[in-house]
Structure 1
């Protein structure tokens, strides 16, 4: 019996010594952090790229928490375009652009490592290079010059976002792009403007392949449902703000449940309802329920592909779609105050598309959580309460507007469309 127990002990010992040990997850080195993306990664808010706002972007916050340097292409006051300012919360809110014209980059000799360009789509990250004129015909080209063109244009060296990322030899790259491949369709109330799936997937796969080939760790984020942004107002919310049932105003305005209106609809609504103008609202200002379903289906398809690419390249995946869905349904309590995705609800800035400082802090923590889960980086999260306490766009409860109507001035809405949709007049 003793011999049998001894033999068994030896066998178990050998099995324990030779059994495969679960490998620790790979660690990420953030010492050379690079960002590829669009306006959401650039720290754009209040329809402006502006130094005092850029530092509050999610990527800048992640770098600060990780205690690594992220060089930003800081833009001087009043920003490009001139930043929107809240004169009065209303209702209706009074919002105007600050006066003056920006001189451009605060320091044109700084080579940015946050390469994100407002207005960029996935294909742009691969191929859009600065024209170096700095007064280009389109806003996205102007911003490309100021973000990617300095100091390169001074020495006749121009690269796209991905080309710069390859040249900078990053150890970690944050990638959040693809939003404009669906967002433009929502801003223009036209689902046909969604980037075709084959083009999106081809460009996204090439981008990921080239970034992964540098040997960097990748952190990628997916695309939110565009209908969560307060730039769009649902037919149901519109009816509630007017104090009338949708069944009453819907036939007059040409709206049904599931429809959304863009800001251009706002000045048309009262004249139609009071009989001063004929209804219904023109199709150009209504994102119809059918169009919403098409955009959501495209978003789901793109997100499935992003997830597959993340898995293929061992990237951390940040589920922004789920985050914004939770925030749109429940809001979030910060410092005893419930913040929401409604206009002036504390999470979105004055352009109705881009986050506030507080919104960006919440997004930064999603990136930090994904980084820690995948790569064990041990970064402390941002104190959202501290950011909220200093955020000029988190208003006291008594200052909230009673209605969401008219929150984005139609001219500003048109400017946003010109940024996000290259062929808009």
Structure 2
């Protein structure tokens, strides 16, 4: 019996070891990628520059290859997705020619100090149209209603003022009378992405709210957007749509400080002396208004919170201009939202200095401090010469953008719910990026220009890594809505800078 127990114990021990060995030698099961209830066999992407792959201020081959839709298409291919064609530019320079003349600028590159325009002539000729159809129908510069406009690809429309056509669409339109949505639907898409509406507010913002590129009215946007979704889903295609980020949070409006002017003591004294008559005129005008209550009330109607005199006193203080020796001087700007006082004093133009509530556009950094008159060393733009409205977004203009963005996003959200489409909250993503950054694998994407990793050198469009992050968020929405299991891409596979020496 003792011998039997001994052998039984040996058998149990070896059996246990064998079980452990079996547990350790795990086999990796191949995950089957599925499209769920979606059909990725013919994916068509509609939108603007964010869909086209625009980055560093231009459209070029490397950027297009890292476009958000192209990244999606590569993952779709794992679940039955078909060929995804893009209207590639002719080079990695960016920009374009029309009749041999440059009409679109080359891309930016990082010169060690900041963004600079690549000093190379583009080779993409707009008049040399591309034949065939393209799955990526992202048209840089397009607004919502432009995608519905027949003739938006007419080369003759480029000559009108303002232009009625778009050079990027001229290059790929099936005919001069076609529309983007028609060319898209002619491909019979089984799945689509739609990211449009940014330019409906961005153009106004980039022009500093000066009125040259107005915000699309809500009724026009609603009609255009719902028409696009209706057309895209008319054949039973499923898809994903994204809303509009708050454009005032992008690097283009957060890079240049409101107080970028350094002055030495002598210059500050000279500028203050030049503005003394203007400041004294404000004091004299306030005294006049105090003595003439009818005029005061007409110019500064009382509110529930402030009397007319309080409003006038606050605005006069706001309009006072003063410089100090050293760093951190605010620039002088024209502000059309100020009360018109020229009927009382013709010298009191509507100008003031910027505050922390103002947003200077990125392009202003190359203008502030230059001379309006090269022969006059005191004619410094932003100091002695007020900046025009196009260089700054005032709080009032920012409010107009916020109101429109909220209304547009409500339309987009409602369209997604009504059509049962996947939805990407791009607005929330940008808020998160602006508030400390977003983790993407081992990287932190932030909204800072150049080194933040999210925005490219134009301060508006994402880097390749930024597009990859958005693609992942888009696939997460698709997986949730349609039951697919598309794998995510890796951040390290996508750069944040492109070399100026790209072939």
TM-score interval for Structure 1 and Structure 2 normalised by the shorter chain:
0.7 to 0.9
Match of 2:364 in 1: 265
Match of 2:181 in 1: 162
C-alpha distance 251-33 of structure 1, shift in aligned 2 (>3 A): closer
Q: For 1:224, what is the secondary structure of its paired residue?
A: coil
Q: For 1:284, what is the secondary structure of its paired residue?
A: helix
Q: For 1:330, what is the secondary structure of its paired residue?
A: coil
TM-score by length of 1: 0.76
Deviation at 1:249, TM superposition (A): 2.4
Match of 1:392 in 2: 497
Residue 427 of structure 2 is aligned with which of 311, 318, 321? 321
C-alpha distance 105-75 of structure 1, shift in aligned 2 (>3 A): farther
1:42-76 Cα shifts (integer Å, max 9, x gaps) = 11112222222211000000010111221111111
**In structure 2, distance between residues paired with 1:181 and 1:246:** 40
Residue 72 of structure 2 is aligned with which of 55, 62, 81? 62
Deviation at 1:205, TM superposition (A): 1.3
**In structure 2, distance between residues paired with 1:290 and 1:246:** 30
Deviation at 1:251, TM superposition (A): 7.0
Residue 76 of structure 1 is aligned with which of 68, 90, 97? 90
**In structure 2, distance between residues paired with 1:288 and 1:344:** 25
Match of 2:276 in 1: none
Equivalent residues of 1:66, 1:379 under 8 A apart: yes
Equivalent residues of 1:88, 1:95 under 8 A apart: no
Do structure 1's residue 95 and structure 2's residue 124 form an aligned pair?
no
C-alpha distance 213-188 of structure 1, shift in aligned 2 (>3 A): same
Match of 1:290 in 2: 396
Equivalent residues of 1:46, 1:83 under 8 A apart: no
**In structure 1, distance between residues paired with 2:67 and 2:151:** 23
Do structure 1's residue 377 and structure 2's residue 400 form an aligned pair?
no
Deviation at 1:265, TM superposition (A): 2.6
Q: For 1:115, what is the secondary structure of its paired residue?
A: strand
**In structure 1, distance between residues paired with 2:115 and 2:249:** 20
Structure 1 unaligned regions, length at least 5: 1-24, 395-425
1:73-95 Cα shifts (integer Å, max 9, x gaps) = 111113333532425121x5433
Deviation at 1:36, TM superposition (A): 1.1
Equivalent residues of 2:208, 2:391 under 8 A apart: yes
Do structure 1's residue 145 and structure 2's residue 167 form an aligned pair?
no
Deviation at 1:312, TM superposition (A): 0.8
1:235-314 to structure 2, matched below 5 A, reads 237-239=257-259, 249-250=329-330, 252=332, 254-270=353-369, 276-277=379-380, 278-314=384-420
Q: For 1:380, what is the secondary structure of its paired residue?
A: coil
Match of 2:436 in 1: 330
Equivalent residues of 1:82, 1:102 under 8 A apart: no
**In structure 1, distance between residues paired with 2:435 and 2:169:** 35
Deviation at 1:282, TM superposition (A): 2.5
**In structure 1, distance between residues paired with 2:480 and 2:262:** 46
Match of 1:199 in 2: 220
1:126-153 Cα shifts (integer Å, max 9, x gaps) = 1244545389334962111113x2xx34
**In structure 2, distance between residues paired with 1:334 and 1:312:** 31
1:214-225 to structure 2, matched below 5 A, reads 214-225=235-246
**In structure 2, distance between residues paired with 1:336 and 1:241:** 38
Larger Rg: 2
TM-score by length of 2: 0.65
Higher helix share goes to which structure? 1
Equivalent residues of 2:55, 2:458 under 8 A apart: yes
**In structure 1, distance between residues paired with 2:325 and 2:116:** 27
What is the root-mean-square deviation in Å for CA atoms of aligned residues? Answer: 3.2
**In structure 2, distance between residues paired with 1:371 and 1:296:** 28
Q: For 1:269, what is the secondary structure of its paired residue?
A: coil
Residue 226 of structure 1 is aligned with which of 243, 247, 250? 247
1:1-30 Cα shifts (integer Å, max 9, x gaps) = xxxxxxxxxxxxxxxxxxxxxxxx971111
Structure 2 unaligned regions, length at least 5: 1-34, 97-103, 264-323, 334-352, 372-376
Match of 1:184 in 2: 203
**In structure 1, distance between residues paired with 2:240 and 2:386:** 46
Do structure 1's residue 37 and structure 2's residue 47 form an aligned pair?
yes
Deviates more, 1:350-359 or 1:225-234: 225-234
Deviation at 1:373, TM superposition (A): 0.8
Match of 1:412 in 2: none
1:289-318 Cα shifts (integer Å, max 9, x gaps) = 111111011101110111011111111111
